């Protein structure tokens, strides 16, 4: 099985993994001489994904690959790190920005410690809310801090009504994360689109 190719830039990656995506730019087609480059910024040093080596022309479109060797340097720790992915095209001395967004870099999975927790913040809070409502929350879950009604509180000091409202909010946040993860993996959003036909 080959590495999946996403239809847009990744929103999050694991350090040390190979990530591939395609990019279509109607205003800057590859077959018109435009060259697409990317730069991952925010760490001790920037990582360049250069045209002709990491980004290739594919007809009018582009095919980008962030190799495992390049992503490995983005996160050497055990926490999530925020980086920025910048995409730009060049031609005949001209430069145009075509992409700029946050990139969340997760720790390397192949070097994770035994107590590694790969859940997102939203999933951790959602799990802690569920456990608190069920009365089985661990001490660590109880002391997770959330913003309830504009006030920072630990879960153990939230009312049942507040916990139910927080659960709805974090379910929505987690659903949005799952959509982003599916798109980054080259899958569909997972959301159903309902269509109403006239009678």
Give the single-character DSSP code of 51: B
Domain ranges of the chain: 5-111, 121-184
pLDDT digit string (tens) for 81-139? 889 999 999 999 999 999 999 998 888 877 655 566 767 788 889 999 999 999 998 88
Tokens standing for 62? Answer: 């582009």
40 has which bridge partners? 47, 85
Q: What is the pLDDT of residue 119?
A: 78
Tell me which of 152 and 54 has the higher pLDDT.
Answer: 54
Q: What is the pLDDT of residue 18?
A: 95
Q: Given the DSSP bridges, would you call strands 61-66 and 151-154 parallel, antiparallel or unpaired? A: unpaired
Left if phi > 0, otherwise alpha if psi is -120 to 50, otherwise beta: which for 15?
A: beta
How far does Cα 111 stand from its chain's mean position? 20
Whether 78 shows a pLDDT value over 80: the answer reads no
pLDDT range class, residue 51, cuts 50, 70, 90: very high
Give the single-character DSSP code of 108: P
Q: Given the DSSP bridges, would you call strands 94-106 and 12-14 parallel, antiparallel or unpaired? A: parallel
Whether 194 shows a pLDDT value over 60: the answer reads no
The CA distance from 114 to 103, in Å, is: 25
pTM over 0.75: no
Q: What is the pLDDT of residue 108?
A: 82
pLDDT above 90 covers what percent of the chain?
53
Mean pLDDT (the chain, rounded): 87
pLDDT above 70 covers what percent of the chain?
86
Q: What is the pLDDT of residue 111?
A: 66
> In 3-state terms, what secondary structure has residue 21?
strand
Give the chain's length: 199
pLDDT digit string (tens) for 147-176? 888 888 899 999 999 999 999 999 999 998
58 has which bridge partners? 61
- Using a 10 angstrom Cβ sphere, with 0-12 exposed, 13-18 middle and 19 or more buried, the burial of residue 30 is buried
Tokens standing for 186? Answer: 């080259």
The CA distance from 94 to 36, in Å, is: 12
Q: What is the pLDDT of residue 188?
A: 65
Whether 180 shows a pLDDT value over 60: the answer reads yes
What is the maximal distance between C-alpha atoms in the chain?
65
Whether 199 shows a pLDDT value over 70: the answer reads no
Whether 191 shows a pLDDT value over 90: the answer reads no
> What is the homologous superfamily of the domain 5-111 according to CATH?
Immunoglobulins (2.60.40.10)
């Amino acid at each position: 099985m080959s590495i999946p190719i996403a239809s847009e830039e990744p929103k999050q990656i694991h350090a040390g993994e190979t990530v591939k995506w395609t990019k279509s730019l109607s205003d800057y087609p590859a077959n018109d001489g435009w060259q697409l480059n990317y730069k991952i910024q925010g760490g001790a040093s920037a990582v360049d994904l250069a045209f002709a080596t990491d980004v290739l022309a594919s007809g009018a479109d582009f095919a980008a690959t962030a190799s495992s060797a390049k992503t490995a340097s983005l996160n050497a720790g055990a926490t999530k790190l925020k980086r920025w992915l910048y995409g730009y095209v060049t031609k005949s001395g001209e430069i145009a920005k075509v992409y700029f967004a946050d990139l969340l870099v997760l720790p390397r999975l192949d070097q994770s410690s035994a107590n590694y927790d790969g859940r997102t913040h939203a999933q951790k809070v959602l799990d802690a809310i569920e456990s608190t409502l069920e009365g089985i929350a661990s001490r660590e879950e109880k002391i997770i801090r959330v913003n309830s009604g504009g006030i920072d509180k630990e879960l153990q000091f939230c009312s049942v009504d507040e916990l139910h409202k927080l659960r709805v909010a974090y379910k929505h946040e987690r659903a949005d994360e799952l959509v982003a993860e599916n798109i980054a993996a080259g899958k569909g959003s997972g959301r159903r689109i309902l269509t109403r036909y006239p009678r």
